[in-house]
């Protein structure tokens, strides 16, 4: 298990590094063009090759050394730690792959949402498509679960977010969490959805108590959707 966890950690670090340029490009307010150069000196964000990608992990422009993109090692460590935590639950098979896939997309989505309150299509749509594809693989492989319940879960959670008039990005992320939770059981679907709302409410309350938010403050809800879904899904499929 220690070897598997270590491998998952390294894979997560690599996934976080690969996602860093995407986070930099898309962490802009809705309606603005994607960012490709340093805001301070207009130099290209990435230098060519592996060395350029390694330099980007410092969170500073390679030309002017100004802060640029996510903080030093933040996407890498977040994704790496998340992969290692999931590996420690014994996640395997197609559903394990679906959980890792949501983590890889979800870590980048969470950082963008926390920065600018948006969940871009370039991540939400692949997250949904990949999850549904991997759930289909689990069905064909005979893993315990139900693809029909997963599809019903995706529909149900999407409907809930549509009815409460959530943000467009939250609605596009809903099929992913609904399918992953619905695969396991109806109770997982229920508790995983509730967990997202509960985590969001708890975070909002803490921020208000600290004087950093009010009732009118917009909350980045994507991270709580992802965390709640993955927590319940991993517990439901733990080996």
My answer on whether 128 and 169 are in the same domain is yes
185 neighbors 95 (Cβ within 8 angstroms): no
* pTM above threshold 0.85: yes
Distance CA 218, CA 216 (A): 6
Domain count, the chain: 2
- State how far the Cα of 226 lies from the Cα of 219, in Å rounded to an integer: 14
Rg (CA), the chain: 18
Q: Assign 35 to helix, strand or coil.
A: coil
From first to last of its 239 residues, what are the pLDDT tens digits of the chain?
589 999 999 999 999 999 999 999 999 988 889 988 888 888 888 877 777 777 888 888 878 888 888 999 999 999 999 999 999 999 899 999 999 999 999 999 999 999 999 999 999 999 999 999 999 999 999 999 999 999 999 999 999 999 987 678 999 999 999 999 999 999 999 999 999 999 999 999 998 898 888 878 888 999 999 999 999 999 998 75
Domain of residue 54, residue span: 1-88
The verdict on 152 and 36 lying in the same domain is: no
Domain finish residue from 88, 117, 142 = 88
- 117 and 71 belong to one structural domain: no
- Of the three residues 67, 88, 109, the one that is the final residue of a domain is 88
The continuous run of DSSP H or E covering 11 comes out as: helix 2-26
Q: Minimal CA–CA distance to 59: which of 23, 28, 84?
A: 23
Mark whether 20 and 98 lie in a shared domain. no
Q: CB neighbours (10 Å) of residue 201?
A: 12
Are residues 159 and 183 both part of a single domain? Answer: yes
Shared domain for 154 and 234, answered yes or no, is: yes
What Å distances lie between residue 84 and 21, 173, 176, CA to CA?
22, 23, 21
Same domain membership, residue 96 and residue 81 = no
Positions of E strands within 100-220: none
């Amino acid at each position: 298990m220690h070897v598997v966890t270590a491998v998952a950690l390294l894979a997560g670090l690599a996934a976080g590094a690969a996602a860093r340029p995407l986070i930099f490009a898309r962490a802009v307010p809705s309606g603005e063009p994607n960012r490709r150069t340093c805001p301070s000196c207009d130099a290209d964000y990435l230098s060519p090759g592996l060395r350029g990608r390694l330099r980007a992990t410092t969170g500073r422009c390679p030309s002017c050394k100004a802060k640029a993109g996510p903080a030093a090692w933040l996407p890498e460590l977040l994704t790496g730690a998340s992969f290692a935590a999931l590996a420690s639950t014994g996640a395997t098979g197609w559903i394990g792959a679906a959980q890792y896939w949501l983590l890889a997309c979800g870590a980048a989505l969470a950082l963008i949402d926390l920065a600018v309150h948006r969940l871009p299509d370039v991540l939400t749509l692949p997250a949904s498509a990949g999850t549904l594809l991997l759930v289909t693989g689990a069905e064909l492989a005979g893993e315990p679960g139900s693809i029909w319940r997963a599809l019903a879960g995706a529909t149900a959670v999407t409907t809930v977010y549509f009815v409460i008039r959530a943000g467009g990005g939250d609605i596009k992320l809903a099929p992913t969490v609904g399918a992953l939770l619905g695969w396991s059981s109806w109770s997982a679907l229920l508790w995983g959805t509730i967990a997202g709302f509960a985590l969001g409410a708890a975070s909002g309350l803490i921020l208000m108590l600290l004087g950093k938010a009010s009732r009118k403050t917009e909350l980045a809800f994507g991270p709580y959707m992802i965390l709640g879904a993955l927590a319940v899904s991993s517990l439901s499929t733990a080996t």
